[in-house]
Amino acid sequence: MSKTSSVKKLKKQENLVGYLFASPWLLGLIVLGLFPILLSFYFSFTNYNMISAPTFVGFENYRILLTNDNLFWKSMYNTVYHVVIAVPLGIFVGISLALLLNNKIRGISVYRTMFYLPNVVSIVAMTLLWMWLFQPNFGLINQLLKPLYNLFHMEPIGWYLDQNLSKLTLILMGLWTAGGSMVIYLAQMQDIPTTLYESAEIDGAGWWQKTFHITLPLMTPSIFFNFIMGLIGSFQVFTIAYIMTNGGPSRSTYYYAYYLFDKMMIDKAMGMASAMAWILLVIVLVVTILALRLNKYVFYLGEEA
Amino acid sequence: MKKILLSMLLVLAAFSAFGCEAKTETEAITIDFWHMSPVGSESYAATKAIINSFNDSQDRYFIKGTGFSFWDYWDKIAVAISSRTAPDIGLSTIDDVVTRAEAGVLYNITDLIAADPGSIDLGELYQSQLDFATYDGDLYALPFTATCRVLYYNLDMFETVGLTEDDVPHTWSELYTVAKQLDVVNDQGEIQQLGFDPTYGNATYHGWLWEAGLDFFDEDLNPTLNTQEYVDILNWIIDFNGEYSRSQLTAFGDANTMLGINPFAGERVAMMVETDGLYQTIKNSGADFNYGVTYIPIPDDNGIRVNWGSGFSIEMYDNGKGEDDQKQGAWEFYKYLMSYDVQMELSTANGWIMAHKGAMQTVSVGDPILTRLIEEVQYARDKVYVPYAPSWHGNDWQPYYNNALTGEMTAAEALAAARENYLQKKANWEATHQG
């Protein structure tokens, strides 16, 4: 009996020491994470202009956003458009780059570094650079395409200044950083046992068969990871539009996170902005849960079939 | 050993106790002052000199100046006010003083002036600016700087087509006639020089409306924009350079703005509506062309001489902590900042138009451009603060304006859509602000 109680005491002490060691992180989580999250949940039910005290308005913010706010739906459409195109395209380009750079040629590490480099460039600098490149009137891209325009008697493409192309332009620009996901794909590719390829080669498999029947299936864990992270990140797209297009032209790049930011900083409607944040959280949560169901198609190496 | 240690501790404790006492007696009360002249900015030296001069003039208060860039300042001050950690004194925008006064975060300046007669001569300040700083009959801020918008014209360009200063336009029809003489287009149809464009620089749709006696909102802050006059003025803007495509005009404008060059300062546009700040930019760039400024041309019939002008307010923040010493110290520095000498010094050093009329008159002696700019300040009018659409002229209007300019919408469609948007925002604002 006394032995049991002393074990219990020791366990308690051990737990206490554990909590003590974890306390800086716990404190950070509660003060910097949990508290603002809970506070924003409360604010979402209030009218709060960030100067006067918040006043409770019940579900009014949610009602307005969902039923009487054209910009809410416009920004939602823009964001979904971005997610639907940018995420698969990003995965496709990332995998393509990884396949391209998974070769044993001279100076391959230099090429890999070059493709990864855009990821260490500040997003502001990157956006400004692409603004110059895509500038319809004197940007480098249109200058290079000039012979084509002349050949087909076309008007130069308006890129980010054309409301029908602005979202696609930003997506294209975002592909410049596909090197980030490429590194993950590359790492997983190099983890694939060479014996599998050797057996396939003995069976007469070519590059195509090896890629589609060995490489890609065994890369599904990293594809899945990048897919989930891409989904979450794309729903929060903001910076490129903020710097490059100001949400325009004609609100065509006015994304959800941008509208949320404006609700807070321009309209001084912190309550409404908080409600938007919680709606976004629910959307991202639901989409992620649905996406997680794809896990059954992911093949983890070493796992029994 | 123990005794030695104990006596050493005692001596140390005694020193610290005396040290604390001595420090409390002599330490000045620190007053926080937030401004927009951070280290490295052109106006830093003058602001710092003024703060130092105040600190040297007395030893009861110590002004601790903190400068943020113009772009960072607004987020910082908004967060500081909402968290009740605002500085004792700070700059802000004058058009929305009322919102802060209403929230109880500003000290009542009328009370402070009443308790300190002769401290500030309100007669030296523009009434239009004071009106914006008034809430419930009392002042809660004072104007610190003033701005205005004028028409800049390039006399060298005028001369090349045989025009003189007498030909400077004052009405919309004169503006059109003169502008067309100043356009230069090459053989490929590319604009080389533009006479004028009513969308360039700081020309705004609401500015043109004001000149015609119209506005975006009525007295009850209901959106207007629903009569033919609004459509006509928007069409006047769209058609002004109708012989060029919008992409030609945008290309010409972008070539300047992307390089950070003001089209007028870069001698690519002959006439442009700009703020008083352009005068300083031209001076700083060392440009040597001849130019002048005048009031923005007005409609031929019943036009009103008016321009969009604003300015920074200077405010004393009440963080609800009952800090009387801080308040008194802040007030002393406040008076100092609003004094004739300091206002003159800031204007001379930075080229700003300050709110103090007398100081500005002195500064402008012998400077014809500055004299004209100051003259226009009296015709300046600030945009009304609309609580349900604080950025009614910017975020809320620009997409519709751009649609009208690019032809995506007709003027009437753009105005109707903008009005619809304001009405929706108003309804939503009212739904969350009942009672």
What string of H, E and C letters represents the secondary structure of B193-231? EECCCCCCCCCCHHHHHHHCCCCCECCCCCECCCCHHHH
Residue B125 and residue B38 share a domain: yes
Out of 1.25.10.10, 3.40.50.11890, 1.10.3720.10, 1.20.1530.20, the CATH code matching A63-297 is 1.10.3720.10
- Model's pTM, two decimal places? 0.85
How many structural domains comprise chain B? 2
3-state secondary structure of B154: strand
The stretch B198-217 carries a mean pLDDT of 95
| CATH at residue B254 | 3.40.190.10
Mark which of B381, B400, B417 sits at the end of a domain: B381
Residue B55 pLDDT: 95
- B314 contacts B337 by C-beta, under 8 angstroms: yes
Residue B13 pLDDT: 56
* CA separation for the pair B401, B185 (Å, rounded): 26
What residue type is assigned to position A161 of the chain?
A: L
pLDDT at A276 over 80: yes
What residue type is assigned to position B182 of the chain?
A: L
Interface test with chain A among B432, B433, B434, by most A beta carbons within 10 Å: B432
Residue B408 is part of which domain span?
149-307+389-432
Residue B34 backbone dihedrals phi, psi, to 5 degrees: -105, 135
Mark B96-132 as b/e (b = at least 16 C-beta within 10 Å): bbbbbbbeebbbbbbebbeeeeeebeeebbbebbbeb
What is the separation of C-alpha A25 from the centre of its chain, rounded to a whole number of angstroms?
26
A163 contacts in B (CB within 8 Å)? 408
Residues near A203 by beta carbon (within 8 Å), at least 6 away in sequence: none
A52 contacts in B (CB within 8 Å)? 102-104
- Share in percent of chain A as helix, strand, coil (round to 5): 75, 0, 25
- B245 contacts B237 by C-beta, under 8 angstroms: no
The chain B residue lying nearest A63, using CA atoms, is B428
Average pLDDT, chain B: 90
Residue A242 pLDDT: 92
The chain B residue lying nearest A246, using CA atoms, is B395
B75 contacts in A (CB within 8 Å)? 265
The chain A residue lying nearest B425, using CA atoms, is A69
Residue B189 and residue B296 share a domain: yes
Give the number of A-B residue pairs with CB atoms closer than 8 Å: 79
Residue B160 and residue B142 share a domain: no
**Angle B270-B188-B173 from CA coordinates, rounded to 5°:** 35
List of E strands, B99-155: 134-135, 138-139, 142-143, 149-154
Asked if B247 and A137 come within 8 Å (Cβ–Cβ), the reply is yes
- Using one digit for the tens of pLDDT, what is the confidence trace for B282-299? 988 888 899 999 999 999
Residue B241 and residue B143 share a domain: no
- Using one digit for the tens of pLDDT, what is the confidence trace for B189-207? 778 999 999 999 999 999 9
Whether residue B5 is contained in a domain is answered as no
- B432 contacts A271 by C-beta, under 8 angstroms: yes
List of E strands, B300-410: 307-308, 312-316, 380-381
pLDDT at B10 over 70: no
A8 vs chain B: nearest CA distance in angstroms?
A: 43
When pLDDT is cut at 50, 70 and 90, the band that residue A302 belongs to is low
Whether residue B192 is contained in a domain is answered as yes
pLDDT at A304 over 80: no
Query: What are the residue boundaries of the structural domains of chain A, listed by start?
Result: 63-297
Residue B121 and residue B102 share a domain: yes
Residues near B62 by beta carbon (within 8 Å), at least 6 away in sequence: B28, B29, B30, B31, B55
Residue B288 backbone dihedrals phi, psi, to 5 degrees: -120, 20
Interface test with chain A among B96, B393, B428, by most A beta carbons within 10 Å: B428
When pLDDT is cut at 50, 70 and 90, the band that residue B22 belongs to is very low
* CA separation for the pair B404, A116 (Å, rounded): 42
User: Nearest Cβ partner of B408 from A69, A250, A272?
Assistant: A250
Cis check for the bond before A249: say yes or no (omega within 30 of 0): yes
pLDDT at A138 over 60: yes
Residue B70 and residue B82 share a domain: yes
The chain B residue lying nearest A251, using CA atoms, is B399
Interface test with chain B among A43, A46, A51, A55, by most B beta carbons within 10 Å: A51
End-to-end Cα separation, chain A, in angstroms: 48
Does B103 touch chain A if contact means CB atoms closer than 8 Å? yes
- Using one digit for the tens of pLDDT, what is the confidence trace for A55-100? 999 999 999 999 999 999 999 999 999 999 999 999 999 999 999 8
Does B235 touch chain A if contact means CB atoms closer than 8 Å? no
Query: Which DSSP category does A32 fall into?
Result: I
pLDDT at B258 over 80: no
* CA separation for the pair B146, B358 (Å, rounded): 13
